[in-house]
Structure 1
Amino acid sequence: MRRGRLRWRAAGGALVRVLVVWAVSTLTMLALAALLPDFRLQSADGDSVTRVGLTAAWAAGAFGLLSALVWPALVRALLLVPALVLGLLVFFLNGSLLLMALNLIPGERGAEVAPDTAVVVAAVMSAVASATSTALAVRDDEAYRRRLYRLADRRRRRHGPPPGGSPGLVFVQLDGVGFEVLRRAAAEGLMPTVADWLERSHRVTSWRTDWSSQTGASQLGILHGSNFDVPAFRWYEKDTREVMVCNRPTSAAELQRRAVERTADGGLLTLDGASRGNLFGGGADQLALVLSVAARRGPANRSRSGYFAYFSDPANAVRTTLSLAAEVVREIGQSLRARVRKVTPRISRGGLYPLIRAFATVIERDVVVYAVIGDMLAGRTCVYADLVAYDEVAHHSGPHGRDTDQVLARLDRSLALIARVAEHAPREYRIVLLSDHGQSPGETFLGCYGLSLKDLVRAGCGLPVPRRAGRTRSGAEARAAVRAALHRPVEEADEEVRPEPGPDPVVLASGNLGLISFPDVPGRASRRWIERTHPALLPTLAGHPGVGFLLVDGEVLGPGGAAARLDVPGAAEELLAAFGPGAADAVRRTDSFPHAADIMVNSAYDPETGAVHAFEEQIGSHGGLGGEQGHPFLMWPTELSDPGPAPVGAEAVHHVLRRWLREADGPQVPLTGTGRRPEDHRPDGPLGGTLPSAGVSAPDENR
């Protein structure tokens, strides 16, 4: 009896909410008809107020019904449209639905609207209806809980029940957020959700990256258990005469293939996992915005499926597009303020950068968070998601300051939303936060010394140097994600992809790490060959005030003629002491890579200020040794075991995450990978194994 009353009460509440949303939509349509000259709800000879109101109510109801029934089918029919184009196309499709709704008004009292005005009316109507529905759910927590349960039930019917009743794990990577940045943000109230977790339920520690402190090396090691032979963000491979770039889809796919082959294991997410917004799949069977599959084409392209699931709700598209415009305006304002105040260091933030920043801080964030919510409602065992917003802004604004503080605050709100949804998921979830690297501040090498690393190398080789120094293009992850969203293929003839053969050195940049390769020399060039062929090159590089040290043929060269063999115990440790504990081990490991460059160049580092000099156009950078870039964080709930001493290297973090999956009684995976050679294991700790790849189904509603 009581259950029946509760069921009738729930049905009555749902009916009331539908009526309220309909009423608000009707009033919105009446207001728009009064404000917009090209939108009319009455006949030419005039109608009574009652007839106009009925016309608006009918049109609002028909529009709402079409949005619910027709819109998802339209989006599925447009799977071949580039994702960002779809975001704009949403408005025109939405306007078309409004025109259809107006034509469904019975009798001869149909409304009239110009096509361009219909786009505006439909956008406002969708936004108002979504805001009203959300506000009603917020006021009625039981209604919100029932909505989530309905979504979860729908997903369980589609994908089956969650495997067992064990807790699931959600790994959220805050790209580029260093350990100290996170602690400061929590202490100063910028990230109240993180602060609350640290006070009540979580612990945090730092971990140390490899020499290549960038997302490609770190995330490959974390997700696939091996980042062997990834010396930098971009590097030249003499055997194929190609440049590998971690955020290029073809390169990412090849690196993932090599890692799986090396470990004889699919990855961290192999069993019932989801990979969202990452460079690599991690073995997941559910993928969205994963770069290693972004080169695929066709209607079933799973790398972009998250966009379509997100835009299947027109209100999402309206809300996100408005936020996108606001972010572009915000970036332009912040850039102008920095120029007026003559803030230093400073780089150019014009061109397409405001749009790229808006993509990273709005579209990618919203789509990834939306996909994670869908994964939790589906009861997936493990999810790994990357939010790149902070990293993109820090590259151009610096890792500390008002610009990045605002991004951190918005990321914290996304974490709060994920935590709120986790309370209503069909299984318990433990949320782990981590980052892949930090960011070190500093003026660019070009800005400080007036020439690029490439110019300096050419001068040392006795080659002509351009009168005007050329800028090195930034390699932030968001740019590649934008290209994938636009279906822009990689230009395989691009000089950066396949340099022209010849005696000239290939000079590449990875943050404050530079790589110099001589294409015509088979294998690694020896120091003797370099000194005989280009006698001024090594002294020019090692003696430059912007260079910290060089790695050449198993030897570290420093300022003032200092040199240390890596195979001589203690020698390299002393020379590299200013770069922190473990620097020599990190360099020693990279020296063992088959594709390490002939000359590896690490910029100078000031221990007092933490500043480095990026060889790219970045005033917040990562990629080499020096400062906060090498100290990301790992934050875990207290129900999981302590990771022990600060993990050293991304592969060690993989080992910790594997252990936590086992503790959650999730995927029963071995703690160590299979099929590995003993010499592959690092001397500073054990290694884990690694993981395969796939589509996304996101929730039908977002809040």
Structure 2
Amino acid sequence: MPRWRSLGGALFRVLAVWAVASLTLLVLAALLPDFQLQSAGGDSLTRTALAAALGAGAFGLLSALVWPVLVRALLLVPALVLGLLVFVLNGSLLLLALDLIPAGQGRAAPQTAVIVAAAMSAASSATSAFLAVRNDDAYHRRLVRLAGRRRTRAAPRPDTPGTLFLQLDGLGHDLLREATRGERPLMATVARWIGDTHHLTPWRTDWSSQTGASQLAILHGSNEDLPAFRWYEKDTGTLVVSNRPSSAAELQRRAVERTGDGGLLAHDGASRGNLFSGGADQVALVMSVAARRGRHNRSRAGYFAYFSDPANATRTAVSFGAEVVREIVQSLRSRLRRELPRVKRGGLYPVIRAFATVVERDVVVAAVIGDLLAGRRAVYADLVGYDEVAHHSGPAHRDTHQVLRGLDRVVALIAKAARHAPRPYRIVLLSDHGQSHGPTFLERYGLSLGDLVRAGCGLPVPRRAGRTPSGAEAREAARAALHRPEGARGDRSTTQPVVLASGNLGLVSFPDVPGRITREELDRRHPALLGTLANHPGIGFLLVRSAAHGPVVLGPAGAEHHLDTGRITGRDPLAPFGAGAAEAVRRTARFPHTADLMVNSAYDPATGAVHAFEEQIGSHGGLGGAQSHAFLLWPAELTPPAPEGRALTGAEAVHRVLRRWLREADGPQQPVGPAQDTARRRAATPDGVPPPDQG
């Protein structure tokens, strides 16, 4: 009886969706002049309805049979292009379906076919979703199909709970508190969790407060020798950028080699939308494996799993278009209101924003739901929409409020899906960093960090930069230090410094000097440079290595902080950046690939503002303000992340906490080898130092 009842319910849902699709075709045929379901001489209502039913049935069959093949064939097409092709492919399937109507009654202009196909897919999807909500089994099957997962009914139910780590990229601790307060909070679901089922704990990032450094340490236990989001490696002459596939793969390889451990997700784990895999077998939209091609590379499979359902593809494509329009309207409104600070938001940015806030979100959420229904032990997923919008609109701007509401709905959807999973799930929300606001360095001072460095080296700079007070002062100081006559041009034969930006953290390297240049050598080659940078009002401090004193932090008016000895001359340049700044800078100073000069922008403790060296009014990557303060929102049944009164500092410490929580979920531990035992004992201690062996 249960089997026949299930088959009867499935047949009812198919007939209901078919009926709605047929009715949609009839309505559109009456409204759209370029779409017809009647022959030239006219037909009766019965024949027209029959044509609509046949057309809807043919379109449904083609969507079910042909669409997955088309999507799999287009897996090598970039995801953005695939999203835009959804409309064209769907319209083509409708034209083919109309040609299959026996009497030849169906006709549509190509552009009209795209509209009709989108409307039919949306109506069918809405009907299917409504019917699924009324039936737990159907709802479960639909969620599985969204992520392309299959699980047999006879699969055993795990005895231990699974854990989902959901990263809200770029959302700082203080901003989360604001978004969950009041009678009508922006994030209502998260607000209900705080203080009820979950506890909120802040944690401080490393000096490099960005996704590459934080996520590599969280997933693989180490972000050693990762000084910024992008940096220049002299020994190989390569530029490393954390979100490039080749760079992400190399960084992950180095971390695994350093720790001797596969990663947080190495045992029955899934990694979704991340820069790194965490050792997971199941990956989708993971940058560190995106460059590989082979049967075992499943990073792009997330797109196939989602877009193989034409209803999902159509819904996402429509939302994608709406998000592009929304960004254009919001950008125009910002310009008309003369809001400051403001950065340019034209070009491809509306498309990039729509991809981050719609396409990537939908694919990642579908994959996560499939992981939950498959009963995986550990899942780590990253939702990047807020971070992308906050860079261009500002961390607390009204444009980001809508993104936060959308993230809250995603959290609610995933929590609802978890109730249908074969095992209970503990959902941990966390962020990898926050964001600090403020006008860009270029907007505030009229020249870039690269311009300022070149001027301080006595090299030619653009006329625009040379006319600014900062640029003019730096050029004159360089000429005086080099004993050049006023108005002399710089030496074009001098090797150009490499200047890179990572939020409000700048990196300056001199490729012609092997190893890290010393302060003494720098003063000899470019005697005005250090003073120019240290005394600029937009720069908070810079790090340089001294042959005599080791790593030294320089500030304005001759201020110095010798990191090895703790000796401070003048006012401590690190004082405005709060407790922990000196240790964060000291740790980075020992990295082999730290740049010759590490430059951190000025920070105003009263307003929390920094000056990004990139075109971002919401930035992260250095020290100063909310960017360094991330959060952990963890279920109350787990042990606290750190002892009471002790701050949680560094992404590596977060990795140890997440490891401990996974062990708590697993219950009694099985015997392990010496290397794994050392790692586990290290993870079990708050400071990461393994206790001495017993016996």
TM-score (norm 1): 0.87
Task: After superposition, give the CA deviation of every residue in 1:494-549 in whole Å (9 maximum; x if it has no partner).
Answer: xxxxxx99622111111111111111111111111111111111111111111111
Task: Give the deviation of 1:550 after TM superposition.
Answer: 1.0
Gaps of 5+ in 2: 467-491, 546-550, 691-695
Task: Give the deviation of 1:591 after TM superposition.
Answer: 0.6
Gaps of 5+ in 1: 471-499, 689-703
Task: Give the deviation of 1:92 after TM superposition.
Answer: 2.8
State the distance in 2 between where 1:669 and 1:570 align.
48
Q: Is contact 2:147–2:305 with CA below 8 Å preserved after alignment?
A: no
Query: Are 1:443 and 2:439 counterparts?
Result: yes
Task: Give the deviation of 1:139 after TM superposition.
Answer: 4.4
Task: Give the deviation of 1:301 after TM superposition.
Answer: 4.9
Aligned-partner residue type, residue 529 of structure 1: E
State the distance in 1 between where 2:293 and 2:69 align.
20
1:568 to 1:407, Cα distance in 2 relative to 1, 3 A? same
2:150 match: secondary structure: helix
State the distance in 2 between where 1:537 and 1:518 align.
13
Task: Give the deviation of 1:83 after TM superposition.
Answer: 2.4
**Number of residue pairs the alignment of both structures matches:** 650
Match of 1:695 in 2: none
Task: Give the deviation of 1:380 after TM superposition.
Answer: 1.0
Match of 2:554 in 1: 557
1:256 to 1:147, Cα distance in 2 relative to 1, 3 A? closer
Q: Is contact 1:79–1:300 with CA below 8 Å preserved after alignment?
A: no
Query: Are 1:461 and 2:462 counterparts?
Result: no
1:672 to 1:193, Cα distance in 2 relative to 1, 3 A? farther
Query: Are 1:599 and 2:597 counterparts?
Result: yes
State the distance in 2 between where 1:25 and 1:164 align.
40
Q: Is contact 1:648–1:685 with CA below 8 Å preserved after alignment?
A: no
Structure with bigger RCO (C-alpha 8 Å, 6+ apart): 1
Aligned-partner residue type, residue 567 of structure 1: D
Match of 1:579 in 2: 577
Aligned-partner residue type, residue 520 of structure 2: R
State the distance in 2 between where 1:223 and 1:149 align.
26
Q: Is contact 1:168–1:381 with CA below 8 Å preserved after alignment?
A: yes
> What are the residue-to-residue correspondences of 1:70-149 with 2, within 5 Å?
70-106=66-102, 108=103, 110-140=105-135, 143-145=138-140
Query: Are 1:374 and 2:370 counterparts?
Result: yes
Query: Are 1:181 and 2:182 counterparts?
Result: no
1:302 match: secondary structure: coil
Query: Are 1:567 and 2:564 counterparts?
Result: yes
2:634 match: secondary structure: strand
Task: Give the deviation of 1:58 after TM superposition.
Answer: 1.9
Task: After superposition, give the CA deviation of every residue in 1:623-680 in whole Å (9 maximum; x if it has no partner).
Answer: 0011100000011111211111332101000000000110110797989976999xx9
Task: Give the deviation of 1:183 after TM superposition.
Answer: 0.9
Match of 1:651 in 2: 652
Q: Is contact 1:149–1:425 with CA below 8 Å preserved after alignment?
A: no
State the distance in 2 between where 1:42 and 1:461 align.
78
State the distance in 1 between where 2:156 and 2:379 align.
13
Match of 1:195 in 2: 191
1:570 to 1:139, Cα distance in 2 relative to 1, 3 A? farther
1:632 match: secondary structure: strand
1:551 match: secondary structure: strand
Task: Give the deviation of 1:299 after TM superposition.
Answer: 7.5
2:339 match: secondary structure: coil
> What are the residue-to-residue correspondences of 1:202-221 with 2, within 5 Å?
202-221=198-217
Aligned-partner residue type, residue 167 of structure 1: P
State the distance in 1 between where 2:671 and 2:171 align.
29
Task: Give the deviation of 1:341 after TM superposition.
Answer: 1.1
Aligned-partner residue type, residue 533 of structure 2: L
Q: Is contact 1:603–1:613 with CA below 8 Å preserved after alignment?
A: yes
1:63 to 1:347, Cα distance in 2 relative to 1, 3 A? same
State the distance in 2 between where 1:623 and 1:671 align.
38
1:450 to 1:141, Cα distance in 2 relative to 1, 3 A? same
Task: Give the deviation of 1:75 after TM superposition.
Answer: 2.1
TM-score (norm 2): 0.88
1:229 match: secondary structure: coil
Between the aligned residues of both structures, percent identity stands at 71
Match of 1:493 in 2: none
State the distance in 1 between where 2:133 and 2:651 align.
40
State the distance in 2 between where 1:676 and 1:522 align.
37
> What are the residue-to-residue correspondences of 1:272-287 with 2, within 5 Å?
272-287=268-283
Q: Is contact 1:455–1:469 with CA below 8 Å preserved after alignment?
A: yes
Match of 2:486 in 1: none
Q: Is contact 2:146–2:367 with CA below 8 Å preserved after alignment?
A: no
Aligned-partner residue type, residue 127 of structure 1: A
Q: Is contact 1:662–1:668 with CA below 8 Å preserved after alignment?
A: no
Aligned-partner residue type, residue 351 of structure 2: L
Match of 1:59 in 2: 55
Match of 2:624 in 1: 626
Task: Give the deviation of 1:419 after TM superposition.
Answer: 0.4
State the distance in 2 between where 1:463 and 1:302 align.
48
State the distance in 2 between where 1:457 and 1:42 align.
73
Aligned-partner residue type, residue 396 of structure 1: H
Match of 2:687 in 1: 685
1:580 to 1:161, Cα distance in 2 relative to 1, 3 A? farther
Task: After superposition, give the CA deviation of every residue in 1:551-584 in whole Å (9 maximum; x if it has no partner).
Answer: 1110111111011211113649954121011000
Task: After superposition, give the CA deviation of every residue in 1:73-98 in whole Å (9 maximum; x if it has no partner).
Answer: 33223333332222233333323332
State the distance in 2 between where 1:364 and 1:530 align.
45
1:456 to 1:117, Cα distance in 2 relative to 1, 3 A? same
Match of 1:526 in 2: 518
Match of 1:243 among 218, 228, 239: 239
Query: Are 1:49 and 2:51 counterparts?
Result: no
State the distance in 2 between where 1:625 and 1:338 align.
28
